[in-house]
Amino acid sequence: MRNKLRFCLALKRLLEQGECRLTKDLADFASSETIQIDGKRVILQDREYVEQYFQKHCQGVCSDYDRLVKLGYEPRSESDLQDGLSLIAHLNKSPHIEDVKLLSASLFGQAKRIERSSFLSRILRDYWPKKQDIVLLRCFSPFYINQQIELFQLTALLGAVALRLSYLQPLDNLQKQQNKQVIAVTSENLAPFLHLNLPEGFLIYTEGFAMLESVVSFLKAIEPAVVVHFGDVDVKGLQIYEKIATRMPGCRFYPDKEILAEILAKMQFDSRSVEYPDTEYQTEEVKELAKFLNTMGGPVIEQETLLHLRPDGLLKFIRG
């Protein structure tokens, strides 16, 4: 069964470029009069017919997709696209927290629709910032709270530590080891946060956008000498980095352009691709990174894949 969203996006690329990579959805659409298949490429034949077809069947889908991408969300199906727009429209009108199952039932007629969709759950977490008072971290150097609670030992014992910042006011009760510069790495996703080990400093989980405010407050309190954000290479990943970097000058994004070029040259499989909205970002650094990614075909690479391809890359980047 054809994925209408993927098909419409592929048809849009075909109209923009005159040719594009062959996909199953386009193969089903191909005919000698409209588009031609040449190996793994598709070549546009009858532009007028395809443009008319696109206007009638795909224009609205692509416009809706662009709206979500600008907000930092990349749906992979038409159902996620439409349900995502409906959920955002509701949350903009009624931002207070509700029962998730009742909300899901009222919007979609299914009480567990949101819970079973990682895409919709991510939107909900971003719009309901319930965790802005919490920092989830792993500590790899001696670091004390009120000269009594040692975060390094707690991490070794428990694996990770959740701090509620409202119980730590003022935040200057956090005290590092004397004369020791602090390294801090923020992680967008949970699996890298749980499995990475640093030689020293802090590894801090942002949960996408969900805990950014508390993460930035914690970073400002510990005054790290080095701050690196390790995130997904996608539209949302760059937005998360930008939100941290604008408030923590000197923060760097891993992977940078040089490392990305090396990784893309070695990748043995096709990654998902997306058009990065380079003009929508705020800082010149992120705009340039987005432009670079567009010149490389708009690759989307998740943190877990980056770790697989460059297991020691992050640690070398921190030291460099």
Domain hosting 92: range is: 71-128
Mean pLDDT of the chain: 86
Same domain for 82 and 99, yes or no, is yes
Task: Tell me what pLDDT residue 284 has.
Answer: 94
CA distances from 122 to 81, 93, 182 (A): 13, 18, 31
Residue 10 belongs to a domain with what CATH number?
1.10.10
Same domain for 190 and 302, yes or no, is yes
81 contact partners, CB below 8 Å, separation of at least 6: 5, 61, 64, 65, 68, 75
pTM: 0.63
Same domain for 64 and 81, yes or no, is no
Same domain for 161 and 237, yes or no, is yes
Residue 272 belongs to a domain with what CATH number?
3.40.1360.10
Same domain for 59 and 111, yes or no, is no
Give 33-57 pLDDT, tens digit per residue. Answer: 677 777 788 888 888 888 898 999 9
* 179 pLDDT more than 50: no
Same domain for 169 and 34, yes or no, is no
Give 83-126 pLDDT, tens digit per residue. Answer: 999 999 998 887 565 678 888 999 999 989 998 899 999 898 77
Same domain for 200 and 302, yes or no, is yes
Helix (H, G, I), strand (E, B), or coil: what is residue 65?
A: helix
